[in-house]
Amino acid sequence: MRGEGGETHQVAGGDVPVLTTQQGTPVADDQNSLRIGERGPTILEDAHFREKIFHFDHERIPERVVHARGFGAHGFFETYESLNDITKADIFQRKGEKTPAFVRFSTVAGNKGSADLARDVRGFAVKLYTKEGNWDIVGNNIPVFFIQDAIKFPDLIHAAKQEPDRGFPQAQTAHDNFWDFISLTPESMHMVMWIMSDRAIPRSFRFMEGFGVHTFRFVNAEGRSTFVKFHWKPKLGLQSVVWNEAVKLNGADPDFHRRDLWNAIQKGDFPEWELGLQLFDDKFADDFAFDILDPTKIVPEEDVPIRPVGRLVLDRCVDNFFAETEQVAFMTQNIVPGIDFTNDPLLQGRNFSYLDTQLKRLGSPNFTYLPVNAPKCPFHTFQQDGHMAFINPKGRANYEPNSWDGAMGGPRESPERGFQSFPAEEQGQKRRIRSETFADHYSQARQFYISQTETEQGHIAAALTFELSKVATPAIRARVVSHLLNIDEKLARQVAHGLRLQDMPKPADAARPTRQDLRKSPALSILLNGPGNFKGRKIGVLVTDGVDIALVKALETAAEQEGAQVEFVAPMVGGVEASDRSWIEAQQKIDGGPSVLYDAVALLPSEDGADRLSNDPAAKDFISDAFAHLKYIAYVSAASPLLEKAGIADMDEGFIRLDAANDATTFINTCRKLRFWKREETLKQA
């Protein structure tokens, strides 16, 4: 909005107002934070950045601006071995050390009431209550981010959220504003490959990776620094859903991820991840093809292998959602002695921003005393008063230094034990500038794409086509395709064909040409890193009166031995009477327990039961969706009429017939592949 007498400047679209601060000061550069040198730290005096982030942090009340929809659980972190050679962090000093932990998973773009299966980044935030203070690893399930400088974070989220004139769509990026921003921000293209991949629609929190995103430092007792990147690897392996399945899951159970984690913990199937570290020195950082301070880049695992150093186990649900999951406050600046920051400009901005956010959301600087946020080690400060203060300094002194003795004088600083920043040398001009080492926006995007299997590449192309089909402005669609041409020409042409672009655009101007020599990184593929088992998964078993009790018991036994779960779906939720007159309790009614809730299905109706279900639309959908979503399907001969009604005339290798008890084991072993991906190509040709 232009105020009275506001100055304008000429751009391609005509006269527009000059961007100013809220005080009316014209802004010269809204793309870069003020820093010391090209790769130096962000400066506190950057008033424009401070104002922009300050306002952004206070936009929402009471829910979080981002990561509003979350779900948390308690657990512990167990250290595998001492790492005292590379860090003095107390948590890594003793083998077998168990440290209390709280983890919050979340979506990023949606509001509190949005659904769990939105195509989105997932937050993966870990609070470790160490003996020397709280350490927060505030990460995501994707190791890179959209932007290189935190000054662009408000713009990114504004573009991704509901469009301000209409208040929709929420929890979606399939709209003009988001893709307009992306099409004008080439540094985002690596992240675009990740969010258009199946990483953005995980099957479960338990089946996804977590990443610290940024490069941090480890510092040992001698003051030696080692660069480190943090990875959380799920013990149950990686798994995602297909897009049609995600859409239907949001309708069937918008709390699907929450319910899955809650149920797993409640029945003692505790989710577990390994913490892995990528460790490298200054020489590697100097020689690496990309800047290790650039948050839009990864260090491939093939270049720096991941070293497992501990395990994270979630073994207790919260007692109260609001008190713990909603009020937990994660902050990237919460580190402990032995951990330190780097000059990653996105990390520098996050360190500045998060405290503001917590103050606005929780209403008081005393949010640190809430049980979920308070350290579990002794802590002593001179902070006092404020809204809802209930811990104030005891004794006469509430300042430091003071000359009072003993307890009256209060806590004292400790040069020996206290946190000390790594004494990195910084020099350079004070400027708003982006380092040239951040200028390659396409090479790692290409590396990610070529590292995917053909199936996964098809999903990326389909996701891009779908998202851009919701963009009403043809010029924005074309601009995105122009960036894709710098990543992979075949991908760009697939998307252009899917959108039916009239003219193929020219490749976008690139600050650096796309490197063709980067090798594939198999670690980036979900399908190449499957679990090799069916543990932690769930089978939906469709049963009717007269179901063969021997097959039911065989399936339950085989699933239990695998560590999988069986859930019975019946015409009525009360259950069914089995062939031996025993009663089987059902967990779901057929029209309330669709096959999208399960990782595989088994069809065990009796002949009479199948006949009764043959005209039930819910039964038809149960089977046809399982087939369309590439799931393994076990069946008995009596189920043939149901399969025919679902339009399945020819059964592929993803179907396993159950004639005898031993067939149940065969079915479970087959399910270890998770999906029958060959069917996808057949469905495309149908």
Catalytic residue among 32, 48, 134, 140: 140
Strand 588-589, strand 583-584: pairing = unpaired
Q: What's the rounded Cα separation, in Å, for the pair 109 and 256?
A: 17
140 a catalytic residue: yes
What are the structure tokens assigned to 552, written together? 């039911």
* Residue in 127, 158, 142, 97 with CA at minimum distance from that of residue 329: 127
Task: Transcribe 73-123 into DSSP letters.
Answer: EEEEEEE-S--TTT---GGGSSTT-EEEEEEEEEESSS-TTS-TT-SS-EE
67 a catalytic residue: yes
C-alpha angle with apex 251: 681 to 477, nearest 5 degrees? 60
The residues, ordered by sequence, that sit 6+ positions from 167 with a Cβ below 8 Å of its Cβ are none
Q: What phi-psi label fits residue 630: left (phi over 0), alpha (psi between -120 and 50 degrees) or beta?
A: left
Task: Transcribe 366-411 into DSSP letters.
Answer: GGGGSTTTS-SS--------STT------SS--SSS----HHHH--
At 262, the amino acid letter reads W
Q: What is the DSSP letter of 304?
A: S
What are the structure tokens assigned to 637, written together? 């001969």
Burial of 523 (0-12, 13-18, 19+ CB in 10 A): middle
Q: What values do phi and psi take at 555, rounded to 5?
A: -70, -40
Task: Transcribe 117-168 into DSSP letters.
Answer: T-SS-EEEEEEEEETTEEEEEEEESSSS-S-SSGGGHHHHHHHHS-BTTTTB
Contact 314, 74 (CB under 8 A): yes
Catalytic residue among 67, 214, 231, 441: 67
At 405, the amino acid letter reads D
At 334, the amino acid letter reads N
Q: Point out the residues that are catalytic.
A: 67, 140
